[in-house]
């Protein structure tokens, strides 16, 4: 696996690959690599000649300084895992290499950013989109792979690529889970074994909603709230949204593609998950 810290050197390498007509798959990450990331890399390797992964803990993506400070930073371990996964190229820039100057772009994604994470993490999506745009312009991949766990992010990245009018196709990959159903996340490294057991109730609540979609949304939301409270989990939001627009729906009418999205805290650790009905 080749490792690059500077975009200038990476671009020199990429130019050779472009000349050789290699198809390039890209998996952007913020490090703390886990099985979910490795699944994205596996999907890329199935579909592309060359797989590139990036590790960049984006400071503009965190609206909470404590969350940024607590985010796991495990670069040496990440490199070993990525090399073992047969990732071809790793790009891990510092802030100065990726940004000419630290300025977060402002985007208009309409309804995609008006609810859920857009409300509770102000500025988050502008920070995320700024970095994704920079990375896509540097790497120019044919395919870029994102996990469905961050469903709102996935929809925003698709919109971003359409606005950029670039060739990259965004591929969403199903959420990879622990045996107990907990969605794989870098933040899981901050949880104890007992906390992971409790956190599995987030997914169990989603499954209950999917299996009982004949009930009203209000009843299902009340169930989620009480079930999570019972397991020491503080609910931040639960929303039933139309996937294309990420707007909340009032009823589970047929013909619409609906997802249920949850954000919650277990002590200081923020977890998100979703399920598609």
> Under a CB-based contact definition with an 8 Å cutoff, are residues 145 and 27 in contact?
yes
Tokens of 221: 């939301």
* Pick from 61, 5, 47, 55: nearest CA to 27: 55
DSSP secondary-structure letter at 45?
Answer: H
pTM summary value: 0.95
Q: What is the pLDDT of residue 192?
A: 98
Res 103: pLDDT: 75
Cβ neighbourhood burial of 274 (10 Å; 0-12, 13-18, 19+): buried
Q: So what's the pLDDT on residue 102?
A: 64
* Mean pLDDT of the 35-42 span: 97
φ/ψ region of 116 (left if φ > 0, alpha if ψ in -120 to 50, else beta) reads left
Extract the tokens encoding 13: 């390498």
Residue-wise pLDDT tens digits, 155-165: 999 999 999 99
Q: Which of 37, 124, 214, 231 is catalytic?
A: 37
Tens of pLDDT along 220-249?
A: 999 999 999 999 999 999 999 999 999 999
User: What is the residue extent of each domain of the chain?
Assistant: 2-173, 186-276
Helix (H, G, I), strand (E, B) or coil at 23: coil
In the residue annotation, 231 being an active-site residue is answered as: no
**CATH for the stretch 2-173:** 3.40.50.620
Q: Which distant-in-sequence residues (6+ apart) come within 8 Å of 16 by Cβ?
A: none
Question: Which CATH fold topology does 186-276 show?
Answer: 3.30.1300
Q: What is the per-residue DSSP string for 124-186?
A: HHHHHHHHHHHHHHHH--SEEEEEGGGHHHHHHHHHHHHHHT-SPEEEEEPPPB-TTSPBP-G
CA atoms within 13 A on the CB side of 220: 24
pLDDT digits (tens, 9 = 90+) for 49-98: 999 999 999 887 887 888 888 888 899 999 999 999 999 999 999 989 99
């Amino acid at each position: 696996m080749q490792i690059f810290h500077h975009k200038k050197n990476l671009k020199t390498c990429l130019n050779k690959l472009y000349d050789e007509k290699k198809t390039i798959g890209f998996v952007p990450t913020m490090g703390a690599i886990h099985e979910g990331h490795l699944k994205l890399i596996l999907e890329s390797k199935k579909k592309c000649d060359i797989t590139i992964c990036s590790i960049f803990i984006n400071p503009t993506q965190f609206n909470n300084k404590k969350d940024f400070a607590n985010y796991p930073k495990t670069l040496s371990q990440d490199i070993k895992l990525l090399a073992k996964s047969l990732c071809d190229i790793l790009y891990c820039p510092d802030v100065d290499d990726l940004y000419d100057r630290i300025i977060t772009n402002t985007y208009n994604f309409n309804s995609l950013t008006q609810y859920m994470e857009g409300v509770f993490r102000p500025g988050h999506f502008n920070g995320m989109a700024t970095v994704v745009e920079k990375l896509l312009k540097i790497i120019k991949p044919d395919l870029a792979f994102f996990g469905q766990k961050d469903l709102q992010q996935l929809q925003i990245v698709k919109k971003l690529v359409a606005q950029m009018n670039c060739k990259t196709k965004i591929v969403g990959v199903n959420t990879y889970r622990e045996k107990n159903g907990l969605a794989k996340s870098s933040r899981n490294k901050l949880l104890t074994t007992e906390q992971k057991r409790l956190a599995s109730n987030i997914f169990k609540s989603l499954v209950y909603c999917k299996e009982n979609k004949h009930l009203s949304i209000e009843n299902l939301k009340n169930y989620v709230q009480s079930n999570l409270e019972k397991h020491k989990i503080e609910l931040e939001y639960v929303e039933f949204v139309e996937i294309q627009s990420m707007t909340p729906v009032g009823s589970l009418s047929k013909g619409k593609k609906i997802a249920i999205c949850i954000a919650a805290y277990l002590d200081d650790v923020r977890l998100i998950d979703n399920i598609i009905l």
